[in-house]
C-alpha cells in the first residue's frame, strides 16, 4: 500500500510526487509514493512547452506564486535535491498604448509588482532595441515593459532533472502504466487498476491534465478541463542577428511569444485565447473530440500545415525585420489544457476525500515546484507555502453546477442570439 499514488507524469505530477516523498522521508516512517504515466515522463504538454518563466501577472496570487516558484527554480537543491540550469535572459513585454500615449493597465501592474519586490518596469523603445538588437521592429504607439528576472529553461533539461529528482528522493516511477479503472467505495478511492497491476494507496493525486475529465467521469466526477490546440514554430537564425542570449518577447500586439532556442533558433507560439467565447468553443469542440489529450499523441496531429507555418511567419515579420530571410527549422502542434476560468485546479476534491488535483490550465510548467509543494503540504497536513497565497481559491469546489450554468449563459451571449433578439423585438 502506497502513501500516495500520483496519476500522470507531467511536470506537475512529478513535482507533486517529489515533494510528498521528501516530506515522507523526513518523517522517516518508510512510506512511499508511486507515480504512474500511461506513456513516459513528460510525454504530453510537459515536453512541448516553451520553457518561459515570467512572474508578472494580473492575478496577484498567480504573480506571488510565480515569483516564489522562480526563486525555487533558481535554487532547486533544497526543494528537489538537485539543481537545474536556467537561462536568465529577462523578458520584454510589448503592448499598444492608449490614444493618450499611456498604458494604465501595465503601469498599475508595475506598481503592484513593486509591492512583491518584482521588477516590471517601463522602458523606452531605444532601450528595448539595445537589449534585443536592430532586428526588433518597434513603433512609437507601443509600450515596452522589462522583467529582468524572467528566465527560460530547456524542456529536455527539465525532463532529465525530473527523472533525477524522482530517483534522488526515492519515488517509484512506473512508465507505460495506464490507469484504466478507478476502484472506489463511498467517498474514497481504494485502488487504481492499470495494465501493470493494481495500485493501492491511501491518497491519490490527479495530475492527468487534459485527460482528467475522461478518466474521472468513470467514477462520476465532473472535472471541467478541455484542450485548446496551439502550434509552435522554430526558425533557424544567424547568431549575428539574434544571439542565443535574447530576451523573451511577450508580444501582446501580435499575440505571440518568442524566445531564442539552443542552436540559434527563434521559437514562436501563440498564447491561450482569453475570451469566454473562445474558451467555450474549446469546451464545445471537446464534445466531438472526446479523446482529450490523445489529440497530442496522434501522429497525424503532430506536423504543421503550410498555412500554419505561414501564419506564424506573417506574425513574426511584424516583430522581426529578418524573419523573411530565415529558414523554417521545425514545428509541431500541441495543446493547452484549459479550465473555464483559466485558473488551476488544486487540492482536495469536493466529493472524494482521498483525491487531490494538480492541474495547470495551460500555463503551469513554471509553477511546478510551487504547485507540487502546495498539494504535498495539503496531503501531509502541513501549512507553510500554502499560507503565502490564497491556495483555497483554486479548489475544484468553485465549479459547482451554478458556476457552469452561469458560464454557459455568459457564453450564449444572449444578446447576440436570435432568441434574445426575438424577445427584444417583442
Ligand atoms: C506550446 C506551449 C507552450 C507552453 N509554454 C509554457 C511556458 O513557456 N511556460 C509555462 O509555464 N507553461 C507553458 N506551457 C504550459 C505547460 O506546458 C503545461 O501547463 C504543463 O506542461 C502541464 O503539465 P501537466 O503535468 O499538468 O500535464 P501533462 O504534461 O499533459 O501531463 C499529463 C500526463 O498524464 C498522463 N496520463 C493521462 N492519462 C493517464 C492515465 N489514465 N494513466 C496514467 N497516466 C495518464 C499523460 O501521459 C501525461 O504525461 C506551454 C504549453 C504549450 C502547449
Q: Can you give the pLDDT at residue 241? A: 80
296 & 334 share domain: yes
Question: Ligand 1 centroid vs 333 CA: distance in angstroms?
Answer: 13
Give the distance (Å) from ligand 1 centre to CA of residue 97: 34
CA 30–ligand 1 middle distance (angstroms): 30
Contact at 8 Å (CB) between 64 and 117? no
pLDDT the model gives residue 425: 42
CA dihedral for 100, 102, 103, 105, sign (positive or negative): negative
In a domain, 424, yes or no: no
CA distance 274 to 366: 19
Tell me if residue 331 falls in helix, strand or coil. Answer: strand
User: What is the pLDDT at residue 405?
Assistant: 78
Q: Could you tell me the distance, in angstroms and rounded to a whole number, from the CA of residue 46 to the centre of ligand 1? A: 4
From 35, 46, 150, 375, the mutation candidate for ligand 1 (largest count of ligand atoms within 8 A of CB) is: 46
Distance in angstroms (rounded) separating the CA atoms of residues 254 and 54: 19
Best residue among 17, 50, 54, 153 to mutate for probing ligand 1's pocket (most ligand atoms within 8 Å of CB) is: 50
- 210 CA: nearest ligand 1 atom: 30
Q: Are residues 174 and 197 in the same domain?
A: yes
Q: How far apart, in whole angstroms, are the C-alpha atoms of residue 269 and residue 132?
A: 19
403 within domain boundaries: no
In this structure, are 185 and 320 located in the same domain? no
Query: Is the Cβ–Cβ distance between 49 and 209 less than 8 Å?
Result: no
Let me know if residue 399 belongs to a domain.
Answer: no
Residues in the chain with pLDDT values less than 70: 286-292, 411-426
Q: Is residue 170 assigned to a domain? A: yes
pLDDT computed for residue 201 by the predictor: 98
Predicted pLDDT of residue 289 = 53
Cell numbers 510551487 correspond to: 370
In this prediction, residue 85 carries a pLDDT of: 92
59: CA distance to ligand 1 center in Å? 22
Query: Is residue 166 a contact partner of residue 25, using CB atoms and an 8 Å limit?
Result: no
| Ligand 1 nearest-atom number relative to CA 180 | 41
Same domain, 70 and 174: yes
Query: Which residue's CA is the nearest one to ligand 1's atom 44?
Result: 37
The helix/strand/coil state of 28 is coil
CB crowding 204-214: b at 16 or more within 10 Å, else e: bbbbbbbbbbb
Same domain, 196 and 206: yes
All 3 cell numbers of residue 357?
488535483
Say whether both 135 and 262 belong to one domain.
no
242 lies in the same domain as 373: no
Q: Are 318 and 137 in contact (CB under 8 A)?
A: yes
For 17, 56, 74, 246, the CA distances from 83, given in Å and listed in that order, are 17, 24, 8, 23
Q: Ligand 1 mean position to 238 CA, how many Å?
A: 31
pLDDT digits (tens, 9 = 90+) for 43-78: 999 999 999 999 998 888 899 999 999 999 999 999
User: Does residue 413 fall inside a structural domain?
Assistant: no
DSSP calls for 66-118: HHHHHHHHHT-HHHHSS----B---EEEEEEPPTTS--HHHHHHHHHHHHTT-
Backbone phi and psi for residue 160, each to the nearest 5 degrees, phi listed first: -65, -40
Q: Are residues 330 and 348 in the same domain?
A: no
Domain final position from 292, 323, 338: 338
Kindly give the distance from the C-alpha atom of residue 202 to the centroid of ligand 1, in angstroms, as a whole number: 25
User: In 296-330, which positions are buried (b, 16+ CB within 10 angstroms) versus exposed (e)?
Assistant: beeeeeeebeeeeeebbbebbeebbebbeebeebe
- Looking at the structure, do residues 7 and 56 belong to the same domain, yes or no? yes
Last residue of a domain, one of 128, 148, 168: 148
Best CA proximity match to 297, nearest among 332, 346, 248, 252: 332
- Domain assignment present for residue 183? The answer is yes
Q: Is 148 helix (H, G, I), strand (E, B) or coil?
A: coil
pLDDT at 422: 46
Q: Do 289 and 266 reside in the same domain of the chain?
A: yes
Residue 191 and residue 76 share a domain: yes
Task: Identify the pLDDT of residue 390.
Answer: 93
Q: Which residues line ligand 1 (CB under 6 A)?
A: 7-13, 36-39, 43-46, 48-52, 178-179, 207-211, 215, 230, 232, 269, 293, 334-336, 359-360, 362-366
Atom of ligand 1 nearest to the CA of 36: 43
Report yes or no on 420 lying in a domain. no
Domain housing 24: 1-85+152-224+342-394
The number of folded domains in the chain is 3
Task: List the CATH number of the domain containing 304.
Answer: 3.30.9.10
Residue 43 lies inside a defined structural domain of this protein: yes
Which residues are registered as beta bridge partners of 152?
52, 87
Q: How many residues does the chain have?
A: 426
Pick from 43, 199, 207, 209 the residue to mutate for probing ligand 1's pocket: most ligand atoms within 8 Å of its CB. 209
CATH number of the domain residue 353 falls in: 3.50.50.60
- Cα of 10 vs centre of ligand 1, distance in Å, is 5
Q: Give the dihedral sign, CA 326/331/337/338.
A: positive
User: What's the rounded Cα separation, in Å, for the pair 312 and 305?
Assistant: 11
Alpha helices in 139-240 (DSSP H): 155-169, 212-217
Alpha-carbon distance 96 to 318, whole Å? Answer: 14
From the alpha carbon of 14, which atom of ligand 1 is closest?
Answer: 25
CA–centroid distance, residue 11 to ligand 1 (Å): 7
Domain boundary among 132, 148, 164: 148
Q: Identify the residue whose cell numbers are 466531438.
A: 288
Cα–Cα distance, 399 to 340 (Å, whole number)? 9
Query: Could you tell me if 76 and 19 are in contact, meaning their C-beta atoms sit under 8 angstroms apart?
Result: no
Chain centroid to CA 263: how far? 25
Same domain, 249 and 100: no
Amino acid at each position: 500500500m502506497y502513501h500516495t499514488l500520483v496519476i500522470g507524469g507531467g511536470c506537475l505530477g512529478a513535482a507533486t510526487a517529489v515533494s510528498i516523498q521528501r516530506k515522507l522521508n523526513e518523517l522517516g516512517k518508510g512510506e512511499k509514493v508511486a507515480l504512474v504515466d500511461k506513456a513516459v515522463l513528460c510525454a504530453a504538454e510537459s515536453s512541448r512547452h516553451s520553457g518561459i518563466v515570467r512572474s508578472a501577472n494580473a492575478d496577484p496570487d498567480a504573480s506571488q506564486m510565480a515569483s516564489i516558484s522562480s526563486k525555487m527554480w533558481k535554487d532547486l537543491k533544497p526543494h528537489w535535491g538537485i539543481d537545474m540550469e536556467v537561462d536568465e535572459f529577462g523578458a520584454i513585454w510589448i503592448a499598444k498604448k492608449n490614444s493618450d500615449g499611456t498604458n494604465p493597465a501595465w503601469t498599475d501592474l508595475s506598481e503592484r509588482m513593486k509591492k512583491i519586490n518584482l521588477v516590471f518596469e517601463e522602458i523606452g523603445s531605444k532601450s528595448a532595441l539595445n537589449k534585443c538588437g536592430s532586428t526588433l521592429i518597434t513603433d512609437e504607439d507601443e509600450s515596452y515593459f522589462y522583467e529582468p528576472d524572467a528566465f527560460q529553461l530547456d524542456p529536455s533539461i527539465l525532463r532529465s532533472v525530473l527523472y533525477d529528482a524522482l530517483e534522488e528522493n526515492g519515488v517509484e516511477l512506473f512508465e507505460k502504466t495506464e490507469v484504466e479503472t478507478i476502484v472506489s467505495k463511498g467517498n474514497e478511492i481504494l485502488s487504481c487498476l492499470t495494465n501493470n497491476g493494481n495500485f493501492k494507496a491511501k491518497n491519490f493525486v490527479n495530475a492527468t491534465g487534459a485527460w482528467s475529465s475522461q478518466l474521472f467521469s468513470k467514477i462520476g466526477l465532473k472535472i471541467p478541463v478541455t484542450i485548446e490546440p496551439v502550434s509552435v514554430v522554430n526558425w533557424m537564425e544567424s547568431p549575428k542577428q539574434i544571439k542565443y542570449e535574447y530576451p523573451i518577447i511577450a508580444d501582446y500586439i501580435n499575440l505571440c511569444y518568442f524566445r531564442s532556442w539552443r542552436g540559434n533558433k527563434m521559437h514562436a507560439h501563440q498564447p491561450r485565447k482569453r475570451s469566454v467565447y473562445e474558451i467555450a468553443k474549446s469546451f464545445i469542440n471537446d464534445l466531438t473530440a472526446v479523446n482529450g489529450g490523445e489529440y497530442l499523441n496522434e501522429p497525424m496531429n503532430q506536423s504543421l500545415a503550410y498555412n500554419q507555418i505561414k501564419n506564424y511567419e506573417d506574425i513574426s515579420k511584424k516583430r522581426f525585420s529578418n524573419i523573411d530571410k530565415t529558414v523554417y527549422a521545425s514545428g509541431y502542434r500541441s495543446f493547452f489544457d484549459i479550465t473555464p476560468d483559466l485558473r488551476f485546479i488544486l487540492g482536495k476534491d469536493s466529493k472524494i476525500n482521498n483525491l487531490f488535483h494538480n492541474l495547470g490550465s495551460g500555463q503551469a510548467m513554471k509553477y511546478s515546484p510551487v504547485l507540487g509543494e502546495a498539494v504535498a503540504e495539503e496531503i501531509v497536513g502541513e501549512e507553510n507555502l500554502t499560507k503565502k497565497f490564497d491556495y483555497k481559491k483554486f479548489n475544484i469546489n468553485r465549479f459547482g453546477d451554478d458556476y457552469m450554468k452561469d458560464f454557459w449563459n455568459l457564453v450564449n451571449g444572449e444578446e447576440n442570439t436570435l432568441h434574445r433578439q426575438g424577445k427584444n423585438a417583442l
